[in-house]
Amino acid sequence: MLRAAAAEVAAQQATARLAGAAASLSGIFAVDKPPGISCTGVLDYFKRNVGRGAAGVPFAEHFERERDLRRTGEKIRRRRCSLALRVGHGGTLDVEAAGVLVVGIGRGCKLLGGYLAGGKAYLATARLGAATDSCDAEGRIVSVASAAAVTGAALQAAIPRFVGRIQQRPPLYSAIKVDGKRLYEYARGRGGSGGASAPPAIEPRWVDVGSIKLLCFENPALAQCVGRRVALPAQYADYYAGGRYRWSAGAGEVRVGAPMAPFANCPHLPHFQMLVRCGGGVYVRSLVHDLGAAVGSAAAMVSLVRMSQGPLLLGRDTVGVDDLPHIDRVVEAMRHANATIERAASHGPSTTATATATADS
């Protein structure tokens, strides 16, 4: 009895020490965000579990809970976290997107502004033949246009129009605020005053696209294959190839009003893959949508991976979500990120260019 009580006291003291250590954290590090969970969901997991180590809630359990909440379609209201830890991130990734997510803790949050506006590299895969209201596979099809005659050369010729300082209209499903409400709230019928539609005018914005490299284009109708498709990182490949994105012969016709998800891996639809380097505020799914229209067809993005943000590169400079409860791993990740950032600063912009170039291979 006394031994059990002593063990419980010791456990409480250890938890208090870890919580104190976690509360003193300050800096920046990069986490490998998996698809299927929001950035806020990742940060919520971190705040509730950092310092708990092996006693933390398994990420898979947290992931399923987040998915169940999202299925309701209601705004997720989170419980207050007992650990007073200031945490933020340096640029939103959509729920179904994956890759580098820069996280700031404590005083590190003040440094996140540079990452919001800074350079990023994305690996995007898209399907031609249909466009959606969200510009990706999460939405419903709003237009269908044959892509049977689209060639890799036509797509390559259209790309320069979307490089440089360009005007881009944000997608309907985005976190941009209009009249105090986020666009996705209007789109989902939470715009207030009972209105379920988005604002009548979404103004285009100036954004900077450094480069777009067409990695692969395949059109089964023309028996044409240009380039070589880059394999997605192993930790994402199964997610994007299966589950709700799995295609089957019973998926039916591509038609207006149907959800796009069952056609994300349809072998009959032409697809292309590209590497995009850009500044802050660029919506890659809008680029995909506009490229589809530019070649006389329609397009929707079916996967997106942020390969780098600033000098921080996926894999080399990121920790996994399962590492987040372990304070020693977080501290080491901050040290590593700081060393990478300092090294990049001392060598100039070429370091970032070299890092993101590895996404080509």
Tell me the catalytic residues.
Answer: 94
Task: Return the SS3 of 335.
Answer: helix
280: tokens are 């802050």
- 280 phi, psi to nearest 5 deg: -70, 155
The one-character DSSP state at 128 is E
Tokens of 341: 């950032």
Q: What are the structure tokens assigned to 82, written together?
A: 């007992």
Residues 214 and 151: beta-carbon distance below 8 Å: no
Rg, Å, the chain Cα set: 22
> At 315, is the secondary structure helix, strand, or coil?
coil
What is the DSSP annotation of 177-226? EETTEEHHHHHTT-SSTT--SPPS----EEEEEEEEEEEEEEEGGGTEEE
Nearest to residue 113, comparing CAs of 280, 323, 321?
Answer: 280
DSSP three-state, residue 92: coil
Task: State the number of CA atoms in the 13 A half-sphere of 292 facing the CB.
Answer: 32
* Interatomic CA distance for residues 189 and 77, integer angstroms: 17
Q: Which residues neighbour 78 within 8 Å (Cβ) at sequence distance 6 or greater?
A: 40, 44
Buried b (16+ CB within 10 A) or exposed e, 285-324: bbbbbbbbebbebbbbbbbbbbbbbbbbbbeebbbebebb
From residue 145, alpha-carbon distances to 225, 254, 289 in Å are: 20, 10, 12
